[in-house]
Amino acid sequence: MPDIIQIEHLRYVYNAGMPDETVALDDVSFTVGEGDFVGVIGATGSGKSTLIAHLNGLNRPTSGRVLIDGRDMWQKGEDLRAFRFLVGLVMQYPEYQLFEETCAADIAYGPRNMGLSEAEVAARVREAAAFAGLDEALLQRSPFELSGGQKRRVAIAGVMAMRPRVLVLDEPAAGLDPEGRDTILSQIRDYHQKTGTTVLLVSHSMEDIAKYADRVLVLSSARVAMYDTVEAVFDRAPELLRLGLSVPQITQVFLRLREMGLDITADVYTVPYAVKTVQKALAAKQQRKGGAADAP
Amino acid sequence: MLRDITIGQHFPGDSVLHRCDPRLKLLGTVGYIAVLFVAGNPLGIGLALAFLAALYAAARIPYKMILKSLKPILPIILFTSVLNLFFVSGQGQAPLFSWWVFTVYPQGVRYAVLLSLRVIALIAGTSLLTYTTSPIVLTDALESVLRPLGRLHFPVHELAMMMTIALRFIPTLIEETEKIMNAQKARGALLDTGTVLQRVKALVPILVPLFISAFNRASDLAVAMECRCYRGGEGRTRLKVLRYTRTDALCAAVLVLALAAIAATRWLVPGL
Ligand SMILES: Nc1ncnc2c1ncn2[C@@H]1O[C@H](COP(=O)(O)OP(=O)(O)O)[C@@H](O)[C@H]1O
Ligand SMILES: [Mg+2]
């Protein structure tokens, strides 16, 4: 089975030939397997949003190829819309896309565009609303009278309702309070686990990526800086810091400890794992001490 | 797509023309347009085009930007040239050729070419103004040039402020429209196929969010302006005061000489 997403030497230039020409992506190559949960991270302006707009044909590569399920959407005879239903894209601050009179009607916009029957549309709206944690009562209200977090969820449900095989979210937690962040992100994780959908989560918070993703794609000035498992990427924490990314606070603590000469690994990125590592290090130290005392 | 609209587009740079006083550029453009209509013969138009080419070179703006600004009006140019070509009859001239109901006289060719060149110079000339002057600076200049009208109770400042705000928000609104269009396309919106009715319907998901955000922005801006005690133009001073410099005087001299020379062709070489 081919990987669901294959990106080959992707290059994208904004305003080519103008004084403000910007190379937003340069020789980007990577693949994503079906069912993966990939975190995409990078400083502001590193090209994250530009990259994901390529996944469902909103941007056309300046050069290079984007293959979804082994097919190139820019090949003659391909239907772009089919790819848009295959790869669901939740844009940054997606609440501005709401326009219908009720939340239910807005969530139904995508599925209706797919040409599904009304019964099927209604079923999908209910399913997506449940995934996004929206009450049945809320569905009949106008999206414009909801809170920011609720609007965000309606917008995310509107994409989930299309049942895409890949769900791409651009900073879905940006601008929310800590509780709202956690709720939305863990709902996305539940959705991933229950449906097996491939998920690409764009974020600039290492903490979030560490908590939810299996693999991390690090973008830096239009290029792929790293693409590996979460552990492997955090093991290179000093490099991440040099790229202008913050690493989780707990990882920073461990980096400093290692700088101070302690013999511990630095790929620590969650508190429970940190506790275990400290216990292990302490036990090892105790043993060494004990060994020294035993000696004559 | 939407970004390709060049009207009022600024092409940042650091040439003499970019740094020149915007009031001078504004008046110079008006003068240039006037001169284009005064000097109607080939020599005058030729000089006007040469002068413009020199200005573009001095501003270091690539010539392909001229093509870009001409693109939207190309059909109009073609249409009027064709009309001139076929409907102008030379008095007593032998026709160049005639076919069916069409007869082309040398006079028609002359009119068609001159008129197209004139329109091209007009558009390229005004584009040069917007390429070298940011819209905000341009409205400042407009306010300053129109100030005498204020004595006649013409709301010059309010008009300029409205223009400044409108110009300031055009790029923002374009960006916003693109974002909204992308978001709805990602949900499978079909924007450019279908019957007229379907297309109009397809605009609803774009216009509703666009209006909502424009109104929100407008009310935010009004609040922000009131918080800073904005109360119209009376007694208002500026952060950037426009002042003519010696370079400006030099530019003005060059401009006046060139325009006078172009206009003079009308009387000096009337035979053409
Ligand atoms: N519509 C656009 N026009 C011109 N340049 C753009 C546009 N969108 C993004 N860019 C530029 O492309 C680069 C990458 O931007 P983006 O993909 O939005 O980064 P990120 O999402 O990682 O913050 C930035 O330098 C940005 O200024
Ligand atoms: Mg972004």
Would you place residue A192 in the very low, low, confident or very high pLDDT band (cuts 50, 70, 90)? very high
Task: Tell me which residue has its CA closest to atom 12 in ligand 1.
Answer: A24
pLDDT at B234 over 80: no
pLDDT at A292 over 70: no
Taking residues A3-10, what's their average pLDDT?
94
Distance CA B32, CA A222 (A): 45
pLDDT at B222: 92
Task: Tell me which residue has its CA closest to atom 6 in ligand 1.
Answer: A14
**CB atoms B180 and A97 under 8 Å:** yes
pLDDT at B124: 92
Strand partners, A198: A166
| Ligand 1 pocket, residues with Cβ under 6 angstroms | A 14-15, 22, 24, 42, 44-50
Percent over 90 (pLDDT), chain B: 35
B122 contacts B79 by C-beta, under 8 angstroms: no
pLDDT at B67: 86
How distant is the alpha carbon of residue A145 from its chain centre?
A: 28
Would you place residue A208 in the very low, low, confident or very high pLDDT band (cuts 50, 70, 90)? confident
3-state secondary structure string across chain B: CHHHCCCCCCCCCCCHHHHCCHHHHHHHHHHHHHHHHHCCCHHHHHHHHHHHHHHHHHHCCCCHHHHHHHHHHHHHHHHHHHHHHHHCCCCCCCCCEEECCEEECHHHHHHHHHHHHHHHHHHHHHHHHHHHCCHHHHHHHHHHHHHHHHHHCCCHHHHHHHHHHHHHHHHHHHHHHHHHHHHHHHCCCCCCCCCHHHHHHHHHHHHHHHHHHHHHHHHHHHHHHHHCCCCCCCCCCCCCCCCCCHHHHHHHHHHHHHHHHHHHHHHHCCCC
> Which tokens in the block code for residue A11?
């290059």
pLDDT at A112 over 80: yes
In this predicted structure, which of A43-52, A83-92, A155-164, B144-153 has the lowest mean pLDDT?
B144-153
Q: What is the pLDDT of residues B91-131, one digit of tens each?
A: 767 777 777 777 778 888 888 898 899 999 999 999 999 89
Distance CA A52, CA A42 (A): 13
For residue B88, how many C-alpha atoms fall within 13 Å in the half-sphere facing its CB? Answer: 19
ipTM of the complex: 0.85
Mutation for testing the A interface, residue in B4, B182, B187, B216 having most A CBs under 10 Å: B187
Mutation for testing the B interface, residue in A99, A106, A109, A144 having most B CBs under 10 Å: A99
Q: Is any Cβ of chain A less than 8 angstroms from the Cβ of B199?
A: no
pLDDT at B230 over 50: yes
Q: Is any Cβ of chain A less than 8 angstroms from the Cβ of B190?
A: yes
Mean pLDDT, all residues of chain B: 86
Would you place residue A14 in the very low, low, confident or very high pLDDT band (cuts 50, 70, 90)? very high
Name every chain B residue with its beta carbon within 8 A of the beta carbon of A19: 11-13
Name every chain B residue with its beta carbon within 8 A of the beta carbon of A88: 186
Would you place residue B270 in the very low, low, confident or very high pLDDT band (cuts 50, 70, 90)? low
Eight-class DSSP state of A14: E
Distance CA B122, CA A80 (A): 42
Which residues does B229 contact at the CB level (< 8 Å), separation at least 6? Answer: none
Distance CA B30, CA A280 (A): 81
Would you place residue A295 in the very low, low, confident or very high pLDDT band (cuts 50, 70, 90)? very low
Mean pLDDT, all residues of chain A: 89
pLDDT at A266: 65
Nearest to A197 by CA among A168, A227, A156: A168
> Nearest chain A Cα to B9, which residue?
A18
Segments making up each domain of chain B, as ranges? 1-133+243-272, 169-241
pLDDT at B7 over 80: no
Expressed in angstroms and rounded, the spacing between residue A45 Cα and the centre of ligand 1 is: 5
Eight-class DSSP state of A173: T
**CB atoms B186 and A81 under 8 Å:** no
Q: Is any Cβ of chain A less than 8 angstroms from the Cβ of B1?
A: no
Which residues does A25 contact at the CB level (< 8 Å), separation at least 6? Answer: A10, A11, A12, A47, A50, A51, A54, A222
pLDDT at A24: 96
Task: Tell me which residue has its CA closest to atom 7 in ligand 1.
Answer: A14
Which residues does B4 contact at the CB level (< 8 Å), separation at least 6? Answer: B68
pLDDT at A234 over 50: yes
Would you place residue B272 in the very low, low, confident or very high pLDDT band (cuts 50, 70, 90)? low
Burial class (CB in 10 A: 0-12, 13-18, 19+), B184: buried
pLDDT at A171 over 90: yes
pLDDT at B3: 53
Nearest to A109 by CA among B189, B179, B180, B195: B189
β-strands A22-32, A5-14: how paired? antiparallel
Taking residues A100-116, what's their average pLDDT?
94
B179, B182, B205: residue with CB nearest A109: B205
Taking residues A206-228, what's their average pLDDT?
91
A13, A28, A50: which to mutate for ligand 1, most atoms within 8 A of CB? A50
The more confidently predicted of residues A218 and B106 is: A218
Taking residues A194-198, what's their average pLDDT?
95
Q: Is any Cβ of chain B less than 8 angstroms from the Cβ of A110?
A: yes
pLDDT at B6 over 50: no
Which residues does A81 contact at the CB level (< 8 Å), separation at least 6? Answer: A113, B188, B190
pLDDT at A296 over 50: no
A11, A15, A22, A170: which to mutate for ligand 1, most atoms within 8 A of CB? A22
Q: Is any Cβ of chain A less than 8 angstroms from the Cβ of B201?
A: no
Distance CA B51, CA A49 (A): 45
How distant is the alpha carbon of residue B92 from its chain centre?
A: 40
pLDDT at B58 over 50: yes
Would you place residue B256 in the very low, low, confident or very high pLDDT band (cuts 50, 70, 90)? very high
pTM: 0.74
Taking residues B60-84, what's their average pLDDT?
86
Distance CA B140, CA B164 (A): 8
pLDDT at B8: 56
Q: First and final CA of chain A: distance in angstroms? A: 64
pLDDT at A9: 96
Secondary structure (DSSP) of A94-122: GGGG--SSSHHHHHHHHHHHTT--HHHHH
Would you place residue A289 in the very low, low, confident or very high pLDDT band (cuts 50, 70, 90)? confident
pLDDT at A50 over 60: yes
Percent over 70 (pLDDT), chain B: 95
Mutation for testing the B interface, residue in A113, A124, A166 having most B CBs under 10 Å: A113
